[in-house]
């Protein structure tokens, strides 16, 4: 059933087929943009309806990356369609403590920059948490904040995100359903999730202020948004699990007008998405049948060609047996399907033009170092296009270390006199700046450039391991990334034009694009959009329609049933791949943004995911490899 058929106009959709395990109604959309558009329309409809009755609309508003699309759409509705916010009253849900309102990470600043400065909510109707209060005033502020919500009749609609721990607002695990606005201690998990915004978890405040669970549950309508595969596990627990304070979002199960709006990756662990045959009789086309056969093989630990009809009947797959009476033939078909997807070096492109788009200056070797290695050996004409400079992920200490090296090497390079004096003056200025810089503050332009050069030099060193050189690297430095901050600008025509120019220049037969869209700061997703848009424009005039290869690896891996190509990697080739990853020294041992849901270093993730893919194929009864990279291929994005 499509998303259009399962989603209604309000926050309480009718029950979709196969949702009997779901205790909160869930809207599922194909991508985050559609989620944002739908939620924004719900909010706009409420504002207009209340205004028509001469009433105010009281909104509880969150921060973070998830609601940004909603805020952009609300701004568009205000500017292009005249949506009037003069009758709206807003309450921020939470704030870090202590934090100054002008801090880059302040939710006070966030809500103004991303919404309130662009619409016409009267200032007197805006309520934000105070993260700059002295401790002895904090309790009184919380009581007054709660009283103001009550004075406005409570929240008409509260918009929520969800943390990996299941928190809503900053109501951490263990919060009671009756809690009100208060100060809380943040858990280690929440602080790790916030680390990318603060340039390291040590800079994240240990406390926060949040409206309470009881305040949220008193809202007349609740919409919780979730996007990305990293939210799939907690969404399943919140929606299908028991009501418990350990997953605070599960309290929404008892709310009559609560609903979840999720993209398909965030909903992917729900029973109706992951194993739909357990909750309904699906349309047993081959794609669905293949998924079920692979699930059964993995669930029972039996190779594909050892499965028998009784295994299907005993595991809720009797309707599949009726649709495919010859189970042996079906299992053989799935086995042959996977076997044909295993592609060795001889089956890969040879003597063709290839463009590998790498969002950051290390995604190429982390996610598809094995493929790059083989493409080089197959004499392809390769350009590795690094889409962003990755400068925000370089520690200040690395800049100082390289400056020290340059100073020590100056005489060896035959330089002295005025040049040496100018260098030392500039170095001292940079040192003074870095010593006084607040955590998360924007770098000087020259420091940003130095950090970019560190990433660039590492990228070149990485591809040299694979037999390429600096002439095979192209640093696109897309404008959307050039903010000097974690927060990036939306993808613009300027970004798309740079990618399109490269396509026209190279006219590639193959392009490789990161389909790994769960990175913590969204850069992979934005780069994907830039390539997607450029490719759409390029297709109108291209004599050669490039084949698109989507790779993953840094944050997740393609599931067996989704992958189109499995490329075996020997132990020697894996060692070479890891050597290339090691060249990215600024990201080694302790990366700036490792992602809160995975403690391993990137080389460990690459090794473990590639070996796990090979092991999974072997358990299905396919040939045994040391490791394998997986890809999805098409001619469109």
Q: Stretch 271-297: mean pLDDT, rounded?
A: 96
For residues 287-302, give the mean pLDDT.
Answer: 97
Residue 458 within any structural domain of the chain: yes
Total number of domains in the chain: 3
103 DSSP assignment:
S
Domain-terminating residue out of 217, 249, 273: 273
Burial readout 591-625 (b: 16 or more C-beta within 10 A, e: otherwise)? bbbbbbbbeebbbebbbebbbebbebbebbbbeeb
Between the CA of residue 566 and those of 135, 466, 511, 557, 559, what are the distances in Å? 57, 20, 17, 12, 11
pLDDT at 4: 35
Query: Which strands sit side by side in the sheet containing 157-160, from one edge to the other?
Result: 26-29, 258-263, 221-226, 157-160, 57-61, 88-92, 126-127
Q: How confident is the model over 474-501, as a mean pLDDT?
A: 89
Per-residue pLDDT at 468: 98
Q: Which residue has the tokens 């993730």?
A: 605
Q: Quick check: is 405 in a domain?
A: no
φ, ψ (nearest 5 deg) of residue 212: -85, 170
CB distance 172 to 189 below 8 Å: no
Query: Could you tell me the pLDDT band of residue 485, with boundaries at 50, 70 and 90?
Result: low
Per-residue DSSP letters for 273-321? Answer: HH-GGGTS-----HHHHHHHHHHHHHHHT--GGG--HHHHHTTT-HHHH
- Residue among 72, 69, 68, 109 nearest 92 (CA): 109
6 or 563: which leads in pLDDT: 563
289 and 267 in a common domain: no
Query: Contact 459/391 with Cβ under 8 angstroms?
Result: no
Higher pLDDT pick, 435 / 87: 87
Mean of pLDDT values over 463-488: 90
Residue 542: the pLDDT is: 65
Same-domain pairing of 355 and 459: yes
Q: Are residues 189 and 294 in the same domain?
A: no
Q: What is the pLDDT of residue 486?
A: 63
The mean pLDDT value for 117-133 works out to: 97
Share of the chain above pLDDT 90, in %: 78
Do the beta carbons of residue 321 and residue 290 sit within 8 Å? no
Greatest CA separation for the chain:
86
Statement to judge: residues 466 and 594 lie in one domain:
yes
pLDDT in tens, 214-270: 999 999 999 999 998 889 999 999 999 999 999 999 999 999 999 999 999 899 999
Length of the chain: 637
Q: Which residue has the tokens 């692979």?
A: 294
* Radius of gyration for the chain, computed over Cα atoms and rounded to the nearest angstrom: 26
* Domain annotation covers residue 413: no
Whether the pLDDT of residue 15 is over 70: the answer is no
pLDDT band at residue 597, thresholds of 50, 70 and 90? low
What is the C-alpha to C-alpha distance for residues 108 and 91, in angstroms, rounded to an integer? 11
Kindly state whether residues 299 and 225 are assigned to the same domain. Answer: no
Give the pLDDT band (50/70/90) at residue 520: low
Q: Is 25 helix (H, G, I), strand (E, B) or coil?
A: coil
Residue 9's pLDDT is what? 39
- Whether 14 has a pLDDT exceeding 80, the answer reads no
Domain-located, residue 437: no
Identify whether residues 247 and 360 lie together within a single domain. Answer: no
Residues in contact with 191: Cβ distance below 8 Å, sequence separation at least 6, in sequence order: 201, 204, 206
Q: In this structure, what CATH number is given to the domain that contains residue 534?
A: 3.40.50.10320
Q: Residue 333: pLDDT above 60? A: yes
Same structural domain for residues 167 and 299?
no
The CA–CA distances, whole Å, from 270 to 19, 65, 167, 263, 307 equal 9, 23, 19, 12, 26
Q: Is the pLDDT of residue 400 over 90?
A: yes
What is the rounded CA–CA span in Å between residue 121 and residue 115?
A: 10
**For the segment 351-393, what is each residue's pLDDT rounded down to a tens digit?**
999 999 999 999 999 999 999 999 999 999 999 999 999 988 8
* Both structure tokens of 477: 């430095």
Question: Do 325 and 452 sit in the same domain of this protein?
Answer: no
Q: Please state the pTM of the whole predicted model.
A: 0.86
Same domain as 587, residue 449: yes
Residue 597 within a domain: yes
Does residue 595 carry a pLDDT above 60? no
Share of the chain above pLDDT 70, in %: 93
Is 53 a known active-site residue?
no
| pLDDT value of residue 338 | 98
Which residues on neighbouring strands pair with residue 348, listed in sequence order?
A: none
d(CA 633, CA 333): 20
* pLDDT tens string 156-177: 999 999 988 899 999 999 999 9
Structural tokens at position 432: 């003074």
Please state the φ and ψ torsions of residue 601, each to the nearest 5 degrees: -70, 160
pLDDT band with cut points at 50, 70 and 90 for residue 598: low
Query: Which pLDDT belongs to residue 232?
Result: 93
Read off φ and ψ for residue 383, nearest 5 degrees.
-120, 125
Same domain, 230 and 303: no
pLDDT bin (cut points 50, 70, 90) of residue 438 is: confident
> 247 in helix, strand or coil?
strand
Alpha-carbon span 320 to 442, nearest angstrom:
58
* Contact call for residues 211 and 93 (beta carbons, < 8 A): yes
Average pLDDT over residues 79-103: 96
The whole-angstrom distance between residue 87's C-alpha and the CA centroid of its chain comes to: 34
Q: How are beta strands 565-569 and 627-634 bridged, if at all?
A: antiparallel
What is the per-residue pLDDT across 354-364, written as a single tens digit (0 to 9) for each? 999 999 999 99
Give the three-state DSSP class for 407: helix
> What is the spatial distance between Cα 92 and Cα 62, in angstroms, rounded to a whole number?
6
Please check the confidence at residue 596 and state whether its pLDDT lies above 60.
no
Name the more confident of 489 and 548: 548
Q: Are 185 and 170 in contact (CB under 8 A)?
A: no
**Chosen domain end from 245, 273, 301:** 273
| Residue of 22, 146, 172, 273 marked active site | 172
Please check whether residue 542 lies inside any domain of the structure.
Answer: yes
Using DSSP, state whether 549 is helix, strand or coil: strand
Closest residue by Cα to residue 322 from 301, 292, 279 = 292
pLDDT at 594: 52
Whether residue 2 is predicted with pLDDT greater than 70 in this model: the reply is no
Question: Would residue 211 count as lying in a domain?
Answer: yes
111 lies in a domain? Answer: yes
pLDDT digits (tens, 9 = 90+) for 194-219: 876 777 778 889 999 999 999 999 99
Domain CATH code at residue 208 = 3.40.50.1360
Could you list the beta-strand ranges (E) of 387-505.
Answer: 473-475
How far apart are alpha carbons 390 and 452 in whole angstroms?
A: 6
Starting at the edge strand found earlier in the chain, the sheet holding 207-210 runs 94-97, 207-210, 182-185
For 219, the token pair is: 């809202």
What's the domain range around 220?
3-273
What are the Cα distances from residue 151, in Å, to 19, 140, 454, 547?
38, 16, 55, 60
Confidence of residue 3 (pLDDT cuts 50, 70, 90): very low
CA 208 to CA 83: how far, in whole Å? 33
Q: Quick one: 497 and 450 in the same domain?
A: yes
Task: Please report, to the nearest 10 degrees, the dihedral formed by the alpha carbons of residues 346, 351, 354, 358 taken in order.
Answer: 60
**Do both 267 and 382 map to the same domain?**
no
Evaluate whether 522 touches 490 at the Cβ level (below 8 Å).
no
């Amino acid at each position: 059933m499509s998303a259009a058929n399962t989603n209604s106009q309000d926050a309480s959709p009718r029950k979709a087929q196969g949702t009997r395990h779901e205790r909160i109604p869930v809207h599922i959309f194909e991508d985050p943009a559609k989620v944002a558009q739908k939620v924004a329309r719900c909010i706009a409809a409420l504002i207009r309806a209340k205004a028509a009755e001469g009433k105010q609309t009281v909104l509880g508003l969150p921060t973070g990356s998830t609601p940004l699309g909603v805020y952009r759409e609300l701004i568009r509705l205000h500017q292009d369609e005249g949506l009037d916010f003069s009758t709206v009253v807003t309450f921020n849900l939470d704030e870090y403590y202590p934090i100054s309102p002008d801090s880059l990470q302040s939710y006070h600043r966030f809500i103004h920059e991303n919404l309130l400065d662009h619409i016409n909510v009267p200032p007197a109707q805006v309520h934000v948490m105070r993260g700059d209060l002295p401790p002895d005033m904090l309790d009184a502020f919380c009581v007054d904040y709660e009283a103001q919500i009550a004075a406005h009749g409570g929240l008409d609609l509260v918009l929520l995100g969800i943390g990996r721990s299941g928190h809503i607002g900053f109501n951490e695990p263990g919060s009671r359903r009756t809690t009100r606005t208060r100060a809380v201690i943040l858990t280690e998990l929440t602080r790790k999730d916030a680390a990318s915004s603060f340039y390291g978890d040590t800079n994240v405040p240990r406390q926060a202020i949040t409206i309470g669970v009881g305040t949220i549950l008193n809202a007349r309508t609740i919409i919780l948004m979730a996007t990305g595969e990293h939210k799939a596990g907690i969404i399943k627990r919140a929606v299908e699990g028991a009501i418990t304070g350990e997953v605070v979002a599960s309290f929404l199960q008892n709310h009559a007008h609560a609903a979840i709006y999720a993209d398909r990756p965030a909903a992917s662990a729900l029973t109706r998405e992951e194993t739909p045959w357990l909750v309904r009789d699906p349309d047993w086309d081959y794609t669905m049948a293949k998924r079920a056969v692979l699930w059964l093989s993995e669930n029972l630990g039996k190779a594909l060609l050892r499965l028998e009809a009784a295994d299907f009947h005993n595991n809720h797959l009797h309707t599949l047996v009726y649709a495919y009476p010859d189970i042996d033939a079906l299992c053989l078909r799935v086995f042959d399907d996977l076997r044909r997807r295993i592609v060795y070096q001889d089956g890969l492109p040879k003597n063709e033009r290839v463009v590998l788009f790498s969002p950051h200056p290390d995604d190429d070797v982390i996610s598809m170092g094995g493929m790059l290695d083989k493409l080089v050996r197959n004499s392809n004409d390769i350009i590795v296009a690094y889409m962003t400079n990755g400068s925000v992920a370089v520690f200040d200490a690395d800049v100082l270390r390289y400056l020290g090296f340059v100073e020590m090497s100056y005489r060896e390079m035959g330089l002295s006199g005025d040049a040496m004096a100018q260098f030392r003056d500039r170095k001292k200025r940079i040192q003074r700046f870095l010593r006084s810089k607040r955590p998360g503050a924007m770098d000087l332009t020259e420091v940003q450039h130095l950090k970019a050069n560190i990433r660039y030099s590492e990228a070149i060193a990485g591809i040299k391991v694979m037999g390429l050189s600096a002439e095979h690297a192209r640093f696109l430095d897309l404008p959307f990334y050039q903010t000097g901050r974690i927060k990036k600008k939306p993808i613009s025509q300027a970004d798309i034009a740079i990618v399109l120019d490269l396509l026209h220049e190279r006219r590639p037969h193959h392009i490789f694009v990161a389909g790994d869209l769960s990175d913590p700061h969204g850069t992979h997703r934005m780069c994907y959009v830039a390539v997607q848009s450029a490719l759409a424009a390029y297709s109108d005039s291209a004599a050669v329609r490039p084949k698109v290869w989507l790779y993953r690896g840094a944050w997740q891996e393609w599931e067996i049933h989704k992958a189109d190509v499995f490329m075996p990697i020997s132990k020697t080739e894996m060692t070479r791949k890891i050597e290339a990853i090691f060249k990215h020294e600024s990201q080694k041992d302790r990366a700036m943004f490792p992602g809160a849901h995975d403690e391993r270093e990137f080389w460990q993730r690459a090794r473990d995911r590639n070996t796990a893919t090979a092991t999974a194929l072997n358990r299905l009864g396919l040939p045994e490899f040391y490791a394998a990279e997986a890809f999805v291929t098409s001619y469109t994005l």
